[in-house]
Amino acid sequence: MAKFNRRDFLRISAAALGWAALGELLAACSREISATSQSTFPTLSPIKTAVAGTTALPSTNTAPAATATQANFPDMAVIRKGEPEVLVRRALAALGGMERFVAKGAYVIVKPNICVAYHGYEYAATTNPFVVGTLVKMCFEAGAGKVQVMDYPFGGTAQAAYEISGIKEQVEAAGGEMVEMSMLKYVTLAIPNASHLKQANFYADITKADTLINVPIAKVHSLSRLTLGMKNLMGLVRDRPILHSNLSQNLADITSFVKPVLTVVDAVRVLVSNGPTGGSLDDVKKLDTLIASPDIVAADSYAATLFGMKPEDLGYIAAGAKRGLGRSDLQNLRIEELAVS
């Protein structure tokens, strides 16, 4: 009898589910409609997958094997006052280098926030393209075999959003590939041990990748207060509007299933009002800051403080910490903070 490895099984399962759900997937694409809100800025590890009806499979979204010396790395790096590429490189150096997270020959997916096609990255609605481009470059420097970058915008087409944000240019210059997320490539997968969201339609390629790197921009959001790392993972799920009911628990469930090996929060320019789409430079504050951690809850917890909030002020962070998905006790974490200039 032929033997199937984990990736073979995922591909077969995904294909079967994709055909079974084809009628549904051919339905018109639903778009998330996000209201805007006003806020005041204060002064101051791919998926652990289970196909419906089966038991959970071991995670394949893993970094290279840990070594004894990795215990000496900080839990988080926070780098300030530098150009985006310098911020990214200093942060990854503090965490042990990109080689700690990306194995040689790995298929890597980088997930930024590219939510709209209305304006460029200066308006802080989308992840800084130079942050994304540097991560792609560093993945290849670590020996990655393929690096794809993707998101599913709710304002405008993916092609327009990729180009207007500046992300497409930087990713392709670094040798990466921009992928438009086809509605026909989502598959329904069960979420083991979910507290509320028992299953969701995930983008199938996430089940094939070896490594997922999450790159949100820090900004305000009309429903979740802030959109950070955990919220950014919604971009891998179809039919997102229905997730806004019981949003905090749903985000914790998605995070328990889609486990990035690294979360890099772009706070070079942050959106402080009228999120998530913005539209005025008056709503943007330039912080020239980058937060990086293998712990998505910790990264979000620190990012919340940039807006004068505590981790417990955000329901999804509290839910994630309670589920053991990461730590929000910043005072007990090893955080390396560095100002470049």
Read off the amino acid at residue 34.
S
In a domain, 304, yes or no: yes
pLDDT at 63: 57
269-274: average pLDDT: 96
User: What are φ and ψ of residue 205, in 5° steps?
Assistant: -65, -25
Query: In the predicted model, is pLDDT for residue 67 greater than 70?
Result: no
In a domain, 55, yes or no: no
225-227/217-221 β-pairing:
antiparallel
pLDDT band at 21 (very low <50, low <70, confident <90, very high): very low
Q: Say whether pTM exceeds 0.85.
A: no
Query: In the predicted model, is pLDDT for residue 133 greater than 70?
Result: yes
- Pairwise CA distance, residues 241 & 239, whole Å: 6
In a domain, 295, yes or no: yes
Q: Which of 76, 34, 39, 73 is nearest to 303 (CA)?
A: 76
31-44: average pLDDT: 35
Q: What is the CATH number of the domain that holds 163?
A: 3.40.50
SS3 label, residue 281: helix
310-338: average pLDDT: 97
In a domain, 310, yes or no: yes
Top pLDDT among 278 and 223 is at: 278
Please write the tens of the pLDDT for every residue from 141-176.
999 999 999 999 988 999 999 999 999 999 999 999
262-276: average pLDDT: 96
pLDDT at 61: 58
In a domain, 4, yes or no: no
Residue 337 region, left (φ>0) first, then alpha (ψ -120 to 50), else beta? beta
Give CA 45 to chain center in angstroms. 11
Q: To 10 degrees, the CA torsion angle through 65, 69, 71, 74?
A: -110
pLDDT at 40: 35
pLDDT at 153: 92
94-118: average pLDDT: 97
- Residues constituting the chain: 341
The pLDDT mean for the chain works out to: 84
pLDDT at 94: 98
Q: Which of 184, 198, 217 is nearest to 286 (CA)?
A: 217
Range of the domain at 281: 72-183+207-239+258-339
In a domain, 225, yes or no: yes
In a domain, 308, yes or no: yes
Query: In the predicted model, is pLDDT for residue 5 greater than 80?
Result: no
Number of domains in the chain: 1
pLDDT band at 62 (very low <50, low <70, confident <90, very high): low
In a domain, 106, yes or no: yes
SS3 label, residue 190: strand
62-83: average pLDDT: 76
Top pLDDT among 243 and 15 is at: 243
Query: In the predicted model, is pLDDT for residue 10 greater than 50?
Result: no
- Pairwise CA distance, residues 247 & 243, whole Å: 6
pLDDT at 48: 30
Q: Which of 88, 72, 96, 86 is nearest to 334 (CA)?
A: 72
How crowded is the C-beta side of 94, counted as CA atoms within 13 Å? Answer: 25
Q: Report the share of the chain in percent with pLDDT over 90.
A: 73
Query: In the predicted model, is pLDDT for residue 41 greater than 50?
Result: no
pLDDT at 29: 35
